[in-house]
Structure 1
Amino acid sequence: MPINWFPGHMNSTRQAIKDRVKAGLDVVIELLDARLPGSSANPLLAALTTGRPSLKVLNKQDLADPPITGDWLDHYNAQPHTRAIGLDAGDKAPARALIKACRELAPLRGDMHKPLRVLICGIPNVGKSTLINTLVGKRATKTGDEPGITKIEQKIVLENGFYLFDTPGMLWPRIAIEQSGYHLAASGAIGRNAFDEDEVALELIATLKRRYPERLQERYGLAKLDERTPDDAVLEAIGLKRGAKVRGGGVQMHKAAEALLVDFRGGSLGRITLETPEEMTAWRQAAADAEAQKALALEAARLAEKEKRSGKRQSASGDA
């Protein structure tokens, strides 16, 4: 499912990050969705902030599968100049751990003469504004359940010598990893006009059948499921249980898809993680291989066209 969702304000966000890096930046906090820690990591942000210490925060960990969250924390903590912690943005005490972790990443900064300059970023709807409000103890930023609430950069003083620069949620112009596109859409990070909810719901069902079939059975009172059960049959059964019926006994599949996505985003299906570090590594490699093959095909087509034009010119010269 190709997804290209890059509203105008995201271009200004990209420029704001570039300007902040030039002005001086000590640590980059990237909020990730603990249910999709690989898909929610922004490669554009990594390119813009190369060389800066990074704190990866797996937000909404209370909605994610604990053992897999542990695997992701190990994965990120093994990377150079990187720390990773799990967080529930609604819990004030763990939120303060951000300040401690940032000071450990940049130990030579953090007083009035050399303030610690921290940029906090994340994909849309990852819970960043809620987290900041928890950190400062007041409503410092607008919050909502739609992507794109924050539109401009904000500077927040969390402590003496600790400056936090908040930026709007930002995706990247082209999501090359197909599975990431589905996961981001399912989480609510992408504007609803940019994808087909029915298709996303079916892909979510395929993942849940493989990893958490009992959650579907418990939530919707379904018969025992396995990977052989057709995805559309599961979605239809969900629609019947949720009252998405039409005259004649059919099901409004779109309403069934909406119900499933709302339940997933709100945590009604239980603690779920859609991807592992190993899966993400394999998907990323497959996407890179596909891009390389596409580039080779385009180059071959370009050379063939060049030879064709050259042959025509030689033919025309011979006729003359």
Structure 2
Amino acid sequence: MAKDIHWYPGHMAKARREIEGRVKLVDLIIELRDARAPASSSNPIIQEIEKQKPHLVILTKKDLADPQVTEAWIKHFEKQGTAAMSLDLTRFNAYQQIVQRSKSLLKDKMEREKQRGLKPRPVRALVVGIPNVGKSTLINRLAKRRATLTGDRPGVTKAQQIIKISNDFELFDTPGILWPRFDDPQVAMHIALVGSIKNTILPLDEIFIYALKYLCEWYPEALVARYGFKPDIASENWVEQFCQEISRRKNFRLVRQEIDYDRIYDLFFNDLIKGNLGAISWERPDDA
């Protein structure tokens, strides 16, 4: 597995500088992370700026993550003194919960300002996160309009903007930012598996083997339910055996009856993305 993975488009370097400049203008930092990989979908840059303001972690895409593991992550964050919640951003009441939780974190500050005779002003929050974690979906739903560009390409939201959610709540949107490089290959694996970087950044066969082995260890029943069997990872050629069996069952063959690995990879990763293998979490608090 590659030990040093570089992936840092130019607009991300600019975004970092802009985010650092905006922190002093807001009351709260709302960080979105993918519930399937809460540790890997954080960002060292965000960890640097979050110390300056109250911080709310929102685990998105909870419907795709193992609910028991997600609950363990929430307890883990709360134990560390970080406010956290998990949400399915496709549900309307999720946005009301975010606004209410944000205001509750600032309750003491707002009360102090009131006692000092300061005029009430809107709560202003900075929304941050890595690409494809759901920032645009969050902002669009909160603003009840297409406030930002949305898409399934990492980093599609390029420009920062302020969005008025209500008379007493405003958001600063920011582009998704990633590390200048991945020093931990496992972090890169998890980020690729949740779709925050293109899986072409890493060797596809390495991602496939990593994910398949993980599922065999943690979610074997998901493989059986979807494919009718699971590989025996104690076997020396377990990956090849799995591919041969999928090739036979799906008739994924090239000329001369060779295994069509590309179609197997497409099937497998498509099943992961669409949730056809069930709710899966790629990391646990004990690993953090």
Q: TM-score, with normalisation over the residues of structure 1? A: 0.81
CA, structure 1 residues 265+9, in 2 after alignment: closer, same or farther (shift >3 Å)? same
- Residue 70 of structure 2 is matched in structure 1 by 69
Give 1:242 deviation, angstroms: 4.4
Q: Is the 8 A contact 1:60 1:89 kept in 2?
A: yes
Q: Which of the pair has the greater relative contact order for Cα pairs under 8 Å at 6+ separation?
A: 2
| Secondary structure in structure 2 of the residue aligned to 1:96 | helix
Q: Is the 8 A contact 1:10 1:168 kept in 2?
A: yes
Pairing 1:189–2:203 present: no
Give 1:243 deviation, angstroms: 4.4
Larger radius of gyration: 1
Runs of at least 5 residues in structure 1 that lack an aligned partner in the other structure? 281-320
Question: What amino acid is aligned across from residue 13 of structure 1 in structure 2?
Answer: A
CA, structure 1 residues 245+152, in 2 after alignment: closer, same or farther (shift >3 Å)? same
| Secondary structure in structure 1 of the residue aligned to 2:63 | helix
- Residue 89 of structure 2 is matched in structure 1 by 89
Q: Give the aligned length.
A: 277
Question: What amino acid is aligned across from residue 225 of structure 2 in structure 1?
Answer: E
Pairing 1:19–2:21 present: yes
Q: Is the 8 A contact 2:193 2:199 kept in 1?
A: no
Q: Is the 8 A contact 1:5 1:191 kept in 2?
A: no
Deviates more, 1:231-240 or 1:126-135: 231-240
Deviations 1:106-153 (Å, cap 9, x if unpaired)?
123499743212011111111221122122222222211121110010
Question: What amino acid is aligned across from residue 239 of structure 2 in structure 1?
Answer: D
Runs of at least 5 residues in structure 2 that lack an aligned partner in the other structure? none
| Secondary structure in structure 2 of the residue aligned to 1:50 | helix
Task: Report the Cα distance in structure 1 between the residues aligned to 2:126 and 2:225, rounded to whole angstroms.
Answer: 41
CA, structure 1 residues 94+191, in 2 after alignment: closer, same or farther (shift >3 Å)? same
Q: Is the 8 A contact 2:37 2:282 kept in 1?
A: yes
Q: Is the 8 A contact 2:73 2:284 kept in 1?
A: yes
Deviations 1:31-77 (Å, cap 9, x if unpaired)?
11111111111121111332311111110001111110000000111
Pairing 1:38–2:19 present: no
Q: Is the 8 A contact 1:236 1:253 kept in 2?
A: no
Question: What amino acid is aligned across from residue 247 of structure 1 in structure 2?
Answer: V
Deviates more, 1:108-117 or 1:230-239: 108-117
Pairing 1:204–2:202 present: no
Q: Is the 8 A contact 1:3 1:175 kept in 2?
A: yes
| Percent of residue pairs identical | 38
- Residue 4 of structure 1 is matched in structure 2 by 6
Written as runs of structure 1 = structure 2, the 5 A alignment for 1:1-320 is 1=2, 2-22=4-24, 24-80=25-81, 82-107=82-107, 108-109=109-110, 113-222=120-229, 224-229=230-235, 230-280=238-288
Deviations 1:248-288 (Å, cap 9, x if unpaired)?
222221332222112112211101111101112xxxxxxxx
Give 1:4 deviation, angstroms: 1.6
Give 1:13 deviation, angstroms: 1.1
Q: Is the 8 A contact 1:236 1:256 kept in 2?
A: no
Q: Is the 8 A contact 1:109 1:116 kept in 2?
A: no
CA, structure 1 residues 242+83, in 2 after alignment: closer, same or farther (shift >3 Å)? farther
Give 1:92 deviation, angstroms: 1.0
Task: Report the Cα distance in structure 1 between the residues aligned to 2:135 and 2:69, rounded to whole angstroms.
Answer: 22
Q: Is the 8 A contact 1:88 1:94 kept in 2?
A: yes
